[in-house]
Structure 1
Amino acid sequence: MERVFPLIETERLALRNVSANDAKDMFTYLSDQDVVQHMGLEPYKSSEEVMEEINWYKSIWENGTGIRWCITLKDEDTVIGSCGFLNMQQKHYKAEIGYELSRNYWGQGIASEALEAVLAYGFKHLNLERIEALIEPLNTSSQRLVEKHGFLREGLLRHYEYTCGKFDDLYMYSILKGDFPSLKHTK
Structure 2
Amino acid sequence: MKLTEGTFEIVSETERLIIRPLQKADYENWLNEFENRYPSQYRYDKGKIDKSECTQEWFHNLVEKQQKLALTDTAHVFGVFRKEDGRHLDMVDFSTLARDDFQWGRIGYTIHNQYWRKGYGKEAVEEAFNVAFNHLKFHRIEAHINVDNSASFILAESVGMKYECTRKEFIFEFGEWTDNLIYYKNSIE
What TM-score do the two structures reach when normalised by structure 2? 0.80
Distance 1:117 1:106, change over 3 A: same
**Contact kept? 1:159, 1:170, Cα under 8 Å:** yes
Distance in 1, matches of 2:118 and 2:63, equals: 25
Aligned residue for 2:108?
98
**Contact kept? 2:95, 2:105, Cα under 8 Å:** yes
1:73 is matched with which residue: 82, 89, 98?
A: 82
Q: Secondary structure at the match of 2:124?
A: helix
Q: Secondary structure at the match of 1:33?
A: coil
Higher deviation after alignment, 140-149 or 41-50: 41-50
Aligned residue for 1:38?
44
Q: Secondary structure at the match of 2:154?
A: helix
**Contact kept? 1:23, 1:47, Cα under 8 Å:** no
Q: Secondary structure at the match of 2:85?
A: coil
Aligned residue for 2:9?
5
Q: Deviations over 1:92-148 (max 9, x none)?
A: 201100000011111111111111111011111222110000011111121111112
Give the AA of the match of 2:31: K
Aligned residue for 2:173?
163
Distance 1:95 1:77, change over 3 A: same
Aligned residue for 1:18?
22
Higher deviation after alignment, 112-121 or 14-23: 14-23
Q: Deviations over 1:28-50 (max 9, x none)?
A: 37895347x438x7964234368
Deviation at 1:149, TM superposition (A): 1.6
Distance 1:10 1:58, change over 3 A: same
1:28 is matched with which residue: 24, 35, 44?
A: 35
Aligned residue for 2:162?
152
Distance in 2, matches of 1:141 and 1:100, equals: 11
Is residue 120 from structure 1 mapped to residue 130 from structure 2 by the alignment?
yes
**Contact kept? 1:29, 1:101, Cα under 8 Å:** no
Aligned residue for 1:135?
145
Distance 1:9 1:42, change over 3 A: closer
Q: CA RMSD in A?
A: 2.7
**Contact kept? 1:151, 1:173, Cα under 8 Å:** yes
Give the AA of the match of 1:87: T
Higher deviation after alignment, 84-93 or 102-111: 84-93
Paired positions, count: 177
Runs (5+) with no aligned partner, structure 2 = none
Q: Secondary structure at the match of 2:188?
A: helix
What TM-score do the two structures reach when normalised by structure 1? 0.81
Deviation at 1:167, TM superposition (A): 2.3
